[in-house]
Structure 1
Amino acid sequence: MEKLHGTTVQEQLEEIEHIKKVREVADKIKDIKIAMLTTVNNEGKPHSRPMYTFDVKDDGIIWMFLAKDSHKVKEIETNPNVILNYSNPQHDLYITVNGLAEVSDNPVKIEELWSDRFKAWFPYGKTDPNLALLKITPQQAEYWQSPDILLAQIVSLVKNTISGNAYEEGENKKIDFLTNQHGEDKKNT
């Protein structure tokens, strides 16, 4: 874990809480390398496409490479609100991340993330003039995960039927990165 930046105990506790949230989401998506990135096009309609994502560090930032001349850049400059959808059907796991995106030319981060596998899109490598980074700062995440064992699903269904409760298929959880552990909005504190 990186050094905490908070100057008070309260700020450090909030940082730790944020890191716990980030790690929970990062653990869920660590084996899913492709996310569907949704932006809003110039007609105001959602536009989705698959994008390769990198492992998420404790800062929570989700990084992707993109071409500077792509429609994504124009869409993000007009409306930075994006959605990432991750899917792992083998484990009945589905995750949505809402965040704010920005285009970055950070050469240190490009160097850190670069692999020759990306030469298919950026033939001049990490110095390709069309290469940029997409930096997504998550604001909220939600995931759904069902037990991947049929027997566990049957037992849960029978148990809920006997008790008169509705069948709940696995776990569903929302994670808000914009509130601290007291439920206060970080933008207003």
Structure 2
Amino acid sequence: MTEPTTPDAMSREKARALLDDIRIVMLVTHSPEGGLHSRPMQIVGLEGSTIWFFTDVDSPKSMEIGRDHDVLVAASCPERKEYVSVAGTARVVQDVAKQAELWTEDARPWFPEGARSEDLALISVTMRSAEYWDSKPTGGFLAFSYIQAMHEGEEGEAQHGKAKFGG
């Protein structure tokens, strides 16, 4: 894999890295009453600009996503001062092959029959944009953070970035 070279590419890579590291996120959907509904979810797959979660096909979140595909995925690790927020488009899919590929035993308490459970579905979130905050950047991201801060006339160690995904 080639190293990201543009600020947007670096921000996309950083947002994905934070999500991959944190793994437990809050998935926010639109409730039937028009409000927001948030719940903790475990990321079971992260491929390019797609985040995967397991769900029950008849769960409230599945119904909410069926009515409104716009979601927010928010993650934080306060101990490391890392935070990321992703706006995306969600869909609920039942794909036995993909479910088997992403299966983790962590899901067995909810789906005792495993990856082939009739109630099991996947939530696919296609990331549209992301914003992150990291107070302890390292490596190439540290250099990028320093250059960005110099360009924007800011000081400090915190790294902040925004990225667009897709076209």
Residues 1:44 and 2:63 aligned together: no
1:176 aligns with 2:126: no
Structure 2 equivalent of residue 157 of structure 1: none
TM-score, normalization by structure 2: 0.79
Asked if the contact 2:45–2:102 (Cα under 8 Å) also holds between the matched residues in 1, the reply is no
Q: Could you tell me whether the CA contact under 8 Å between 1:26 and 1:55 is conserved in 2? A: no
1:32 maps to which residue?
A: 22
Count of aligned residue pairs for this structure pair: 148
Identify the structure with the greater strand proportion. Answer: 2
Question: Deviation at 1:166?
Answer: 7.4
Question: Following TM superposition, by how much is the alpha carbon of 1:54 offset from its aligned partner in structure 2, in angstroms?
Answer: 2.6
Which amino acid is the alignment partner of residue 175 of structure 1? A
- CA offset digits 1:38-94 (Å, max 9, x no partner): 00000110100000003422x321000000111001100110000000101111011
Counterpart residue type for residue 105 of structure 1:
Q
Matching of residues 140-155 of structure 1 within 5 Å: 140-147=129-136
AA partner of residue 32 (structure 2): N
Report deviation, 1:37: 0.2
Structure-to-structure mapping, 1:122-161, within 5 angstroms: 122-147=111-136
2:71 to 71, 75, 82: 82
Identify unmatched segments of 5+ residues in structure 2: 138-152
How far apart are the structure 2 equivalents of 1:67 and 1:118?
A: 11
Q: Where does residue 101 of structure 1 map in the other structure?
A: 90
- Residue pair 1:96, 1:141 contacting (<8 A) in 2 also: yes
| Conserved 8 A contact 2:99-2:115 | yes
CA 102–29 in structure 1, closer or farther in 2 if over 3 Å, else same = same
Relative to structure 1, is the Cα distance of residues 45 and 169 closer, same or farther in structure 2, using a 3 angstrom cutoff? farther
Distance (Å, rounded) in 1 between the aligned partners of 2:83 and 2:106: 27
Q: Does 1:70 align with 2:70?
A: no
CA RMSD of aligned residues (A): 2.5
d(CA) in 1 for partners of 2:79, 2:51: 23
How many angstroms does 1:22 deviate by? Answer: 4.2
Query: How far did residue 20 of structure 1 move?
Result: 5.7
1:135 Cα offset (Å): 0.3
1:116 is displaced (CA, Å) by 2.5
Match of 1:153 in 2: none
Amino acid at match of 1:135: S
| C-alpha displacement of 1:126 | 1.2
Higher Cα radius of gyration: 1
Which gives a bigger RCO, structure 1 or 2 (Cα 8 Å, sep 6+)?
2
TM-score, normalization by structure 1: 0.70
Give the aligned residue type for 1:176. K
